[in-house]
Structure 1
Amino acid sequence: MQNLLLCFWPFFLFNNGLHERAYLPGCEIELSALTKDPCPGSDNGRIELEITGGQPPYYLNWTDPSLSGMLLEELGPGIYGVTVTDQKGCSANLTVFLFPVSPPQYQLILEPGLCFGVADGTVRFESEDPLEYRINNSAFDTATVFTGLLPGVYSFSIRDTFGCTYEVSAHLPTPAPLTLELPETLHLFLGDTGMILPTGDLERFVSYSWEPDLWLSCSDCPTPLTFAEEELTYRLTATDERDCTREAEVRVVVDAGPRLYLPNAFTPDGDGYNDHFRPYVGDEQTEILFFYVFHRWGGRVFSVLNTPAASFPGWDGTLDGNPLEPGVFVYYLKVRFPDGKFEVFTGDVLLL
């Protein structure tokens, strides 16, 4: 009797996620498989079977009857077995294990913007894995920091070296609003003084800046006095402790009113505001023919003759260079207007 050699050895090999191999001595059928583990929550695993040796054609019998062929795709995690038989009846077995890819480890860091309405938010990723990122379906990139973001919800995608993608949502909160308002218009009569009063979150501001710095009692305070001599627009820039700024504007309209105006008080204290007693005129061509100031006993303390009103600095409250005591003084003024008409003004003024 002739000995009969049956070439069939069951052989199982555990998967390492990359390559499977089975070899049966005698039959010389060698099985191997290139594998791709599926991404978490996905059925995108892959097994590509390779056969060497034996006598083609080969007959494949997968343990899952719904599977066939040398290439299996759209596979989930699991155990996949196949028996390959050649034309001579020699068989070899291969078992493949597909495991889900482990999700990458990363840290999502949110840096909300500091200023309301300003795109200064940041989203940052930190990971020791070689990952790629993208925001709102843009192209993937290795950049890990996304800057210049407005408050809102952003969608990020992370891709690992296995080609698996992971969706991440990040919410940048909205900073508290910062408000600053000024009246649209401030009306003044020529020679009058008005206070500019801003409103809003004034308690949150730490510095102020007014521009232009003209006819103001201060340019770095919240509520300056203005003694504007002509129409102009002031812009206020206020800054809080986080260096956030708000701006507002007010238009100052100066009404010349009468052809000439004289204030009823002045304060020659050197602060640059209302330091001189002088007539304010609506037309720069007006000429002062004479201007006298007397104390209450009738003594003259100041006089000027034939002077253009526009360039006249006014009386500084002194006599022979010496400051006078506060009190009431009487003035007597005669001017000639550009139309040739003369007019006399008299009254009293309070030196403070």
Structure 2
Amino acid sequence: MKKVLCAFICILLLSGTATAQVQQPYILNGAATQRTCNCYVLTQDVQNASGTVWNKNKIDLTQSFNYVFDVNLGCKDGSGADGIGFILQTKGTNLGATGQGLGFAGISPSLGILIDTYQNSSESDPPYDHLAIQMNGISDHSKPENLAGPVTVTASSENIEDCTWHLFRVKWDAVTQTLEVSVDGELRLSVTKDLVNDIFGGDPLVYWGFAGSTGGSSNVQQFCAALRPDYAFDGGQVLCDGTPVKFLDNSSSFGTITRRRWDLGDGTIFTGIQPPPHLYAAPGIYDVKLVIEDNSGCISDTLKSSVTIGSYPEADFSPDKLCLGEPLQMKDGSKLAVGTLETWKWNWGNGQTGSGQQPIAPYTTPGTYQVELEVVSKEGCGDKVSKPVNVFTTPVISATAKNVCIGEPVEFKGTNETPTVNMGQWYWTFEANDTLRNQNVSYTYTAGGKHTAKLHAVSSDGCVATAVPVTAAVVDLQLFAGRDTVIARNQPLQLNATATGEDLYYTWTPSTGLSDLHIPNPQAILQKDQQYHLVVTSPEGCRDEDDLAVKVYEGPEFYVPNAFTPNNDGVNDRFRVNAPGVPQLEFFRIWDRWGQEIFSARSLEQYWDGTLKGRPADAGTYVWMVQGVDYKGRRFSRKGTVTLIR
């Protein structure tokens, strides 16, 4: 239940009946001002200020008391100062001082519970905002008058200048003579001491109040006296449709609460201490409001609290079947119109239980289990559902494929490795997003190489097997025996056949001049022209063939024609050098009859096509020269003329 209070308060609980306050009980001194009916500002955010608020009615320390205040030390962490103190003293109601003494310094006899927000090294202050119990106007923590502390003011932070109101409780047990100080519900300090005799010289009647001060640094420092509307529910209250709601008044005030006004959020108004059990007409969210007034005439701010009257949920869950080997994820499908589901209790039907909205079921063996789910909302409304859940075995599959030659279909075969599980569906997926729906299929690839397919399967129970990849090699040998070539008689010729595949077997025929008939790169030494035929086979039985022609000349030598006819008829259109035994050409140049160079090449593959600067050259006689290095390393050259015929 969320509660909103616009004012902060103090609760005075005496061991006997609280004395009624019929007039303003406080005397204000210095900078102190009254902010609201029950709240007081001790200092504004100004330097060298002091404010005190003393209750004019003395209390008797032979009686126990329990004071609860709300205190606010301002918003200037680090640069704020100096702090406030709750003080018991016998000197009167016009006391106070500025600076580090917190309005407590010099008051003796006295007892002060000091909230100090500034570090004064001269008083052995720690670097954090601190709380201490001290006596007789001495705020130095190194002195005997320091009875307890210093400690951080709150248990969770070193800073109390946080713009926040904090609950500050001072409790005195007269029987055990124990003084306890709590902040925000956490006990921070305690001391056992005979306050009457050890401090106040046997006088049990003392003034009490708050003092605050600033020095060179400052902060707004304030406290509030009690006027707190509040309500609660007992531990067994259920906020569900059709259940009466019992509101318990939990309000507190410094004086006597004289009037209350309840607004239950559905038009019901009640002015007694607490309403009778109330039945709301329908589920929903209702804004309950409570205002109280005490005997001093102070009226509290309105307590506003949303109360949810929840509807009853409809429990449900899914799925009703699970497959072993997969995450056994259960999903809550419960519905609730008003309220918030808070707890889920699962009974798995196998002696095990679980919790959580989306748990993992604990099954390890197939079977049918009666699963029960109970859901309960934050409002205490619940429902149950029980349904059978079938747990099935997930199938395991494997796949095989045989390598084939290009153009042949690959035979893919699927196997169910869990024969006790009936299969409902098989299908294969291929690289081109093709799908075939059978256990065993044939598929033809258009390109050679290694290809991966995946086998999928679903059991008749709907359990999906883990997809299995399988790779098939499609052999496309792509044999190339080599380009036809020319060599000189007795010139070693290195053959370099190529083919795609592994563990291939080569056969050259005939064997004339070859160093090895069964490798792709034998060496040949020939005396005359030779035509070779090469056959290659793969382990799969794939076969490919190719031929290679070798023309043998006397040489090494340059063979150059003496005429050519570049008329694009496909016959004698190119003027080139034939150089058996000359693997390296240094240059091939052609000049016209005026000595102008019109063609130059450094490769036997290059030729002159009878053009000059892109245009047909004139018919006539041209001079050429060629130079190169033969296979034995000898450099030689030749020159001559050629006639271009048009």
TM-score by length of 1: 0.35
Structure label with greater radius of gyration: 2
TM-score by length of 2: 0.22
More strand by share: 1
